[in-house]
């Protein structure tokens, strides 16, 4: 999963195409728990670009998009928010895939 480098990159990715942003942090145990399954999820949903956002590096962006718990996911298509899976709870592969599948309908 590619790591976000700048706010400008976030805006570009958000506004062009289908992107899912995963908000995480190095110290987050629940984030580490789902890391092993993320490549499988990315491979299954190739219509989306997946971008990792380090919460500590982009705290202002997290506040701007109302992400206060991690791991969290927000999906956009051409600037429009499709949905969000935002909470402080641990997430399973099945829950993440269910969230993404629900975006399609």
Kindly state the average pLDDT of the residues 8-24: 97
| Active-site residue (options: 4, 13, 20, 31) | 31
| Active-site residue (options: 4, 22, 25, 28) | 28
Host domain of residue 15: 2-104
Q: How many domains, in total, are found in the chain?
A: 1
**8 Å CB contact between 7 and 21:** no
pLDDT, tens digit (0-9, with 9 covering 90-100), for 24-64: 999 999 999 999 999 999 999 999 999 999 999 999 999 99
CATH of the domain at 98: 3.40.30.10
pLDDT for residue 105 is more than 50: no
pLDDT for residue 104: 67
Distance CA 70, CA 38 (A): 15
Kindly state the average pLDDT of the residues 94-102: 96
The alpha carbon of residue 26 and the mean position of all alpha carbons in its chain are separated, in whole angstroms, by 15
Query: Does residue 62 carry a catalytic annotation?
Result: no
Q: What is the pTM of this model?
A: 0.93
């Amino acid at each position: 999963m590619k790591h976000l480098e700048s706010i400008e990159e976030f805006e570009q990715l958000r506004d062009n195409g289908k992107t899912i942003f995963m908000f995480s942090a190095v110290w987050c145990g629940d984030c580490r728990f789902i890391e092993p399954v993320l490549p499988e999820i990315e491979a299954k949903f190739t219509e989306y670009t997946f971008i990792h956002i380090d919460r500590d590096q982009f705290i202002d962006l997290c506040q701007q998009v109302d992400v206060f718990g991690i791991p969290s996911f927000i999906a956009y298509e051409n600037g429009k928010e499709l949905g969000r899976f935002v909470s402080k709870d641990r997430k399973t592969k099945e829950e993440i895939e269910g969230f993404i599948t629900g975006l399609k309908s």
